[in-house]
Amino acid sequence: MPAMIEVAGLTKSFTLHGQGGVRIPVFAGLGLSVAAGECLALDGPSGSGKSTLLRSLYANYRPDAGAIRVRHGDGVVDMMTAPPHQILAVRRATIGYVSQFLRVIPRVPALAVVAEPLRVLGVELAVAERRAARLLARLRIPERLWTLAPATFSGGEQQRINLARGFIAGSPILLLDEPTASLDHANRLTVIELICAAKQAGTAVVGIFHDREVRDAVADRVFDMSRARDAA
């Protein structure tokens, strides 16, 4: 299986200028590789840099040094050096990211929020909304909520909207930050099914799973953050 993500020499620190320029190292010289159809679980205590690494893979955080090579279409893009325009293209077509928080325009209905990643790929409205409806039903979001804006939804409902949004485009790479944190047992099982189906389809998954049951069910390998942290 070809590598979908290859990270080498990745170093990240934060410099807080408002607080005397204090520098907080997170990790240094980090390397990993994830193949198509494989799920890598990031492991380590709170503050060990799991979310920072995940956000770096999405080019949301900008590491200080290293390379993040991502298979995008027929080529490879280094998320560390690619111009903004190209990173946007990689995010649209290649990387799905499920964060812990839903950030959306107020007043936009849940169905449209979920359909959006397909719409930006040029999929027509009816097709995108049908697929969004299927995912929302599968994640047990009651149909009466589909036409409402998610701002007033519960934490668990918002998380499921976020998950539906992350899974809808069938991205070749999925980054999952605590995807089951606020979910009940039945929905956790559904998320496990979705992740396993994505892997079957060849998606490379990198995730943070505090839930042991979820992690054991989906992860092929565990990446220990403490090694990279000690180096920093």
Three-state DSSP state, 137: helix
Is the dihedral angle over the CA atoms 177, 152, 157, 139 positive or is it negative?
negative
89/189 with CB nearer other proteins = 89
Kindly write out the interface string for residues 43-72 of this chain, putting x where it contacts other proteins by CB under 8 A and - elsewhere: ------------x---xxxx----------
Please give the order of strands across the beta sheet that includes 173-177. Answer: 95-98, 173-177, 204-208, 39-43, 221-224
Q: Is 88 in the site for other proteins (CB under 8 A)?
A: yes
Q: Is 127 in the site for other proteins (CB under 8 A)?
A: no
Answer for which of 2, 20, 45, 106 binds other proteins (CB under 8 A) is 106
Q: Is 20 in the site for other proteins (CB under 8 A)?
A: no
Partnered with residue 22 across adjacent β-strands are: 16
As measured in angstroms, the least distance from the Cβ of 149 to other proteins is 9
Partnered with residue 205 across adjacent β-strands are: 39, 174
Query: Which residue blocks in the chain are alpha helix, DSSP H?
Result: 50-57, 84-93, 110-119, 125-138, 155-167, 185-200, 212-218, 225-231
Per CB under 8 A, the segment of 35-43, 85-93, 172-180, 204-212 that binds other proteins is 85-93
Cα separation, 222 vs 42, whole angstroms: 6
Q: Is 13 in the site for other proteins (CB under 8 A)?
A: no
107/212 with CB nearer other proteins = 107
Q: Is 196 in the site for other proteins (CB under 8 A)?
A: no
Q: Which residues bind other proteins (CB under 8 A)?
A: 14-18, 55, 59-62, 75-78, 81-85, 87-88, 103-108, 119-120
